[in-house]
Amino acid sequence: MNDNPRELTLYVKGLLLDEGFDLVGVTDPEVPEYARESFIRWLEEGMHADMEYMERWRDRRLNMKLLWEDVRSVVVVAKSYYTPWKVPSEYRIARYAWGKDYHRVMKKKLIRVGKRLRGEVGIEFRAYVDTGPILEKVFGQKAGLGWQGRNSLLINPRMGSYFFLGVLLLDVELEYDSPFAHDFCGKCNRCVQACPTGAIRGDRLVDARKCISYWTIEYRGEEIPDEIAEKMDSWLFGCDICQEVCPWNSKARPTDWREFQPREEIFQLNIYDIARMSEEEWKAFSRASAIKRARLDGIRRNARAILKFRGS
C-alpha cells in the first residue's frame, strides 16, 4: 500500500471518516507565501496582544519541518460542533465550549487512527488539535476544506463555520487535494459590521486587542478594560457574534457526536453566583470542558465585567 499513494490516501481518509469526522483533506507541509506574510503582519502590528506563545513559536508555525523534520503530508479533519439548542441563561458561552473539551475528544480519535497506521503500514504520525504551532485554517484551505472568511474562520460551503479542525501529520507523501480556490464571502460584510468592538478588520485578520474572545479567555489580567467590558453584553466565555451573523451558517450541520452535546449544568448558575464562584463550584462547572482555559479567576472577572455594565 505504501507504494501506491492514491490507495494509501483513500485508506487514510476512510479510517478518519469511519471515526466520524465530517471532512478530511490532505495537503503538503509548505506554508503558502500569502499566509506567511499575513501571519508576520499580524504579529508585527501587535494584533496577538499579550499571547507571547504566538511569537515564541513563530518559526515553527512558518516551517513545519521545524516542528517535525519527517513530515511529508498534512491531513486536516473537520467535525461539526453545532447544535440548535437554545441557551436558557442570562449569560452566554461560545457554542464550541457547550460540550466536552474538543482537544481531548478529537485528539483521542486522531491518535487511534495514527496508531493503526503505524501498526498496519509502518507510518509515523503526530496529532494536533489546536495545541501545536500549526496554522490549521491555512492548511484547511490548502487541503480543500473551505475558504478563510473575513472573520478569519474557515468556512465550508456545506457546513458553515461551526466546526473544529484537527491535524494528523504523516511521514509519507500522500495524494494531495487541490486547495479551495473560491472566496464565497463576496461583498458580504456582516461579520465586520456586527463585531461590537471592531476587532474584525475584514482582511482575514482579527485584532486580539479588541476581541471579546481574547479578553474573556486568553487575557490574564485582574480586570477587563471598561472600553471592552461595556461592549461584552452577556458574553462570559468567548463570543460567537461573527458566526451568528454569517449567512453560511444557515447550512450548519448538527453534530452527531454525543461528546459535543450541550452540558446543561454550565447554564444553571446565575451571573451573581459566577462572580463569587468557589473552587469546588468551578471544578463542577468546568469539568471536562474547554472552559478551563479561562481559569477560575478569569471567569469571576468576566462575570464582574458583565455585571458592571448590565443595564447601562
For the annotated catalytic residues, the residue numbers are 130
Neighbours of 292 (CB within 10 A): 16
Helix (H) or strand (E) holding 244: helix 241-244
Give phi and psi for 65, each to the nearest 5: -65, -25
8 A C-beta contact, residue 274 and residue 303: yes
Sequence letter at residue 188: C
> Residue 15's closest CA among 105, 139, 113, 120?
113
Which residues sit opposite 167 in a β-bridge?
Answer: 76, 128
Measured in whole angstroms, the distance separating CA 235 from the mean position of its chain's CA atoms is 17
Interhelix angle 5-18/102-121, nearest 10 degrees: 140
Measured distance CA(5)–CA(3) in Å, rounded: 6
Residue 281 CB coordination number (10 Å): 14
Query: Which residues lie across from 156 on neighbouring strands?
Result: 160
Task: Tell me how far apart the alpha carbons of residues 180 and 39 are, in angstroms, rounded to a whole number.
Answer: 19
Is 206 in contact with 49 (CB distance < 8 Å)?
no
User: What is the pairing mode between strands 154-155 and 147-148?
Assistant: antiparallel
Angle at 37 between CA 34 and CA 43, to 5 degrees: 140
Q: Which three cell numbers stand for residue 141?
A: 484551505
